[in-house]
C-alpha cells in the first residue's frame, strides 16, 4: 500500500512540474490586456476552490483507504452501523452553496470588465474567418491577412464573423482576451487594449477542416504614432497597388495548401502554371472554388483580388 501511494505522489509531482514549467500549463498565458487580466484572475479564483476541494476529497479518500483497509477486520464481518450525523450533513450541504455564491459573485463582478467594450478612443476592425486564414479590414479600407496591427494603450474593437459560404471559426489570442466564434451570418464582438508593444500569437480554436492547424493569427501591438503612420501609408500603398497585400493574401489564403513557393502540398503545384497569367481564370477559381478547393475569396474586394493575381503572375508563373 505504501509503495502504491508513493508512486501516485511521485507521478503527481512530475506532471505538476511539467505543467507549471512553462506554456502550455495549468494557468492562462501572461495577460497583455485588461480583459485578459480579468480572465486570468477569474480562473485563479475558481482554481482556489476547485483545488481545495480536490485536495480535500482525494485526501479523505486516501485516509479512508489506509484507515479502513481490508486487513483490519475479517472479510465476513459487518462494518460499524452509521445512523447519520445532522451537523455533518448540514455542513456538506451548506458549504457547496457558499462556494458557488463566492465563485458566482466574483465572476459577475469581473464580467463587465471582460465583456464590455470601452466606448471612447478606439480602433474598429472587421475580422472575417475563412478557410484557412483571417481577413482584417480597417475603417479606412486597409486590408490585412492573418497579422493584425493595433496601437498600444488604445482599445481595438473587433467585429468577428464569417462569410455565409464558409464554416465556423474561432478567433483567439490568449494574451489579449477570450475566444470568440466567427459564425456565418452572425456578428460577435470583442476587444483588447495591449499594455506593451510586441507580437501576440493565437490559433483558430474551432476545428474548421483539413488545414485547421495552420489557421494561425497574430496581433502586432505598436506605439500609437507608429500605428497611425503605418495605417496611413498602407492605405495609400493599397490604393496605388504597391503594397504587399498580394503576397500576404497568397501566404494566408493559398500557400497553406499549395506551398509558399507554389510547390504543392495538399493542393496541386502552382509554380510554372501558365494559368497564373490569366487573371480571369484565377479569379474564377478563387471566387467559386474547384474540386476539393473551397471558394477562398468569394466576397473579396476587387483590389485584393487584383493584388493576388498580380503577385501570382510576377512571382510564381515563371518559377
Tens digit of pLDDT for each residue in 201-238?
999 999 999 899 999 999 999 999 999 999 999 999 99
Domain covering 122-240 in this structure, CATH number: 2.60.40.420
Question: Hey, do 29-70+85-116 and 122-240 end up sharing a CATH topology, with the first three levels equal?
Answer: no
Tens digit of pLDDT for each residue in 252-304?
999 999 999 889 888 898 888 888 888 999 999 999 998 889 999 999 999 99
DSSP string, the chain: -HHHHHHHHHHHHHHHHHHHSSSSSSSPPPP-SHHHHHHHHHHHHHHHHHHHHHHHHHHHHHHHHHHT-GGGS-TTSPPPP----HHHHHHHHHHHHHHHHHHHHHHHHHHHHHHSPP-SSEEEEEEEEETTEEEEE-TTS-EEESEEEEETTSEEEEEEEB-TTS--EEE--GGG---EEE-BT--EEEEE--SS-EEEEEE--S--STTGGG-EEEEEEE-HHHHHHHHHHHHHHHHHT-SSHHHHHIIIIIHHHH-TTS--SSS---TT-GGGG-HHHHHHHHHH-BTTB--TTTT--HHHHHHHHHHIIIIITT-
User: What confidence score (pLDDT) does residue 14 get?
Assistant: 42
Tens digit of pLDDT for each residue in 152-192?
999 999 999 999 999 999 999 999 999 999 999 999 999 99
Q: What is the mean pLDDT of the chain?
A: 88
Q: Which CATH number fits domain 245-316: 3.40.50.360, 3.60.10.10, 3.50.50.60, 1.10.760.10?
A: 1.10.760.10
| Residue 7 clears pLDDT 50, i.e. is over it | no
| Residue 2 clears pLDDT 60, i.e. is over it | no
Domain covering 29-70+85-116 in this structure, CATH number: 1.10.287
| Residue 21 clears pLDDT 70, i.e. is over it | no
Pick from 15-29, 39-53, 299-313: least confident: 15-29
| Residue 315 clears pLDDT 90, i.e. is over it | no
| pLDDT level of residue 15 (50, 70, 90 thresholds) | very low
Query: How is the chain split into domains, by residue range?
Result: 29-70+85-116, 122-240, 245-316
| pTM confidence score | 0.83
Tens digit of pLDDT for each residue in 69-123?
766 667 777 767 777 888 989 998 999 999 999 999 999 999 999 999 998 889 9
Amino acid at each position: 500500500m505504501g509503495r502504491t501511494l508513493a508512486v501516485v505522489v511521485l507521478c503527481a509531482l512530475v506532471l505538476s512540474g511539467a505543467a507549471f514549467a512553462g506554456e502550455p500549463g495549468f494557468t492562462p498565458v501572461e495577460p497583455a490586456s485588461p480583459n485578459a487580466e480579468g480572465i486570468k484572475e477569474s480562473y485563479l479564483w475558481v482554481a482556489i476552490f476547485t483545488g481545495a476541494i480536490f485536495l480535500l476529497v482525494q485526501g479523505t479518500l486516501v485516509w479512508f483507504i489506509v484507515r479502513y483497509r481490508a486487513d483490519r477486520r475479517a472479510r465476513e464481518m459487518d462494518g460499524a452501523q452509521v445512523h447519520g450525523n445532522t451537523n455533518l450533513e448540514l455542513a456538506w450541504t451548506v458549504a457547496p452553496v457558499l462556494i458557488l455564491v463566492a465563485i458566482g459573485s466574483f465572476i459577475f463582478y469581473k464580467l463587465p470588465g471582460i465583456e464590455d467594450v470601452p466606448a471612447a478612443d478606439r480602433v474598429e476592425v472587421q475580422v472575417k474567418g475563412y478557410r484557412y486564414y483571417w481577413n482584417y479590414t480597417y475603417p479606412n479600407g486597409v486590408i490585412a491577412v492573418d497579422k493584425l496591427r493595433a496601437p498600444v494603450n488604445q482599445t481595438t474593437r473587433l467585429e468577428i464573423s464569417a462569410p455565409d459560404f464558409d464554416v465556423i471559426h474561432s478567433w483567439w489570442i490568449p494574451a489579449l482576451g477570450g475566444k470568440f466564434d466567427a459564425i456565418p451570418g452572425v456578428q460577435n464582438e470583442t476587444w483588447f487594449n495591449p499594455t506593451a508593444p510586441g507580437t501576440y500569437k493565437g490559433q483558430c480554436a474551432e476545428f474548421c477542416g483539413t488545414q485547421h492547424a495552420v489557421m494561425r493569427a497574430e496581433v502586432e501591438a505598436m506605439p500609437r504614432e507608429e500605428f497611425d503612420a503605418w495605417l496611413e501609408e498602407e492605405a495609400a500603398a493599397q490604393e496605388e497597388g504597391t503594397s504587399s497585400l498580394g503576397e500576404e493574401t497568397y501566404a494566408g489564403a493559398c500557400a497553406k495548401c499549395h506551398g509558399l513557393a507554389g510547390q504543392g502540398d495538399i493542393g496541386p503545384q502552382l509554380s510554372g502554371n501558365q494559368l497564373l497569367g490569366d487573371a480571369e481564370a484565377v479569379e474564377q477559381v478563387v471566387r467559386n472554388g474547384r474540386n476539393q478547393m473551397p471558394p477562398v475569396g468569394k466576397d473579396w474586394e476587387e483590389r485584393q483580388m487584383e493584388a493576388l493575381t498580380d503577385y501570382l503572375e510576377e512571382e510564381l508563373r515563371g518559377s
